[in-house]
Each structure stands twice: as structure tokens, then as C-alpha cells.
């Protein structure tokens, strides 16, 4: 007999509503697992389909189609999620670029003001030097 930790909360990927976990206590408990074994009788065991037979080929083909269909659906979900993520990141980049453009405009304006301030100071010094 072995003692295992019973973690009954689903993985975070499977929980869509955060409120679901609000009432769940994080209290690991030791759970005892007892293995019950029932001997299989020969009539309970189905005969495996032979690889070369028509039935074996159909079963193998159907399971392959099901597995591939599930994989395609999984990839489509991943693709949709990644497109959403890319869209959010694209919007973030656009926002940053707009902010940078505004900052560049302000920096140019500050350089112009500094240049004209130096010109004015030079004129004032020249004027003060004459008097």
C-alpha cells in the first residue's frame, strides 16, 4: 500500500473562473490507496485484431483519424491563442512607438529652444558689451 497526496484541484490551464478556487482549501492530506485485483478470465479478454486483417486495419485507421483530428483541433486552439497574443503585443508596440514619436518631437523642440536661448544670450552679451 502506498500513501499519495490527493490533489483534487484541476490544473490552472483547466480553470477558467478564478472564483472557483476561492473556496478550495490548500490542505494536503494523506490518502490510502488499496489496489483491488480481479483476475481476468479468458472469455473476458477480447482477441486482438491481427494487423493484416481487415478489422485490424479499420480499427487502426479509425484511431489514427481520431488522434489526428484531436491534434488538429488542439493546434487550431493554440494558433487562435497565439494570434490573440500577437495582436495584444502588436497593439503594445504601436502604443510604445506613438509614445516614442511624441518624445522625439519634444526632444527636437527642446533642442530648438536651447539653440534659440543660446542665440538670445549671445545677443544680450554682445549688447551688454557695447554699453
Question: What grid cell was written down for 50?
Answer: 491481427
Distance between CA atoms of residues 84 and 90, nearest Å:
10
Which residue intervals of the chain are DSSP H helices? 54-130
Answer for the pair 28, 5: CB distance below 8 angstroms, yes or no: yes
Question: What grid cell was written down for 81?
Answer: 491563442
**Each residue's pLDDT tens digit, 80-91:** 999 999 999 999
Distance between CA atoms of residues 21 and 10, nearest Å:
10
Classify 43 as helix, strand or coil: helix
Strands 2-5, 30-33: pairing kind: antiparallel
Mean pLDDT, rounded, for 8-37: 54
Give CA angle at 30 (27, 34), nearest 5°: 145
0.85 cut: is pTM over it? no
**Each residue's pLDDT tens digit, 25-81:** 555 555 555 655 555 555 555 555 555 556 657 777 888 899 999 999 999 999 999
Residue bearing cell 527642446: 110
Question: What grid cell was written down for 97?
Answer: 512607438
* pLDDT at site 50: 52
* pLDDT at site 66: 92
Amino acid at each position: 500500500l502506498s500513501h499519495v497526496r490527493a490533489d483534487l484541484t484541476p490544473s490552472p490551464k483547466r480553470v477558467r473562473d478564478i472564483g472557483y478556487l476561492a473556496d478550495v482549501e490548500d490542505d494536503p492530506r494523506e490518502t490510502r490507496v488499496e489496489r483491488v485485483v480481479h483476475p481476468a478470465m479468458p472469455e473476458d479478454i477480447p482477441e486482438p485484431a491481427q494487423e493484416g486483417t481487415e478489422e485490424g486495419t479499420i480499427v487502426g485507421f479509425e484511431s489514427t483519424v481520431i488522434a489526428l483530428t484531436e491534434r488538429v483541433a488542439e493546434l487550431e486552439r493554440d494558433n487562435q491563442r497565439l494570434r490573440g497574443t500577437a495582436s495584444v503585443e502588436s497593439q503594445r508596440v504601436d502604443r510604445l512607438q506613438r509614445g516614442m514619436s511624441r518624445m522625439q518631437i519634444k526632444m527636437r523642440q527642446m533642442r530648438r529652444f536651447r539653440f534659440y536661448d543660446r542665440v538670445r544670450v549671445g545677443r544680450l552679451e554682445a549688447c551688454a558689451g557695447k554699453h
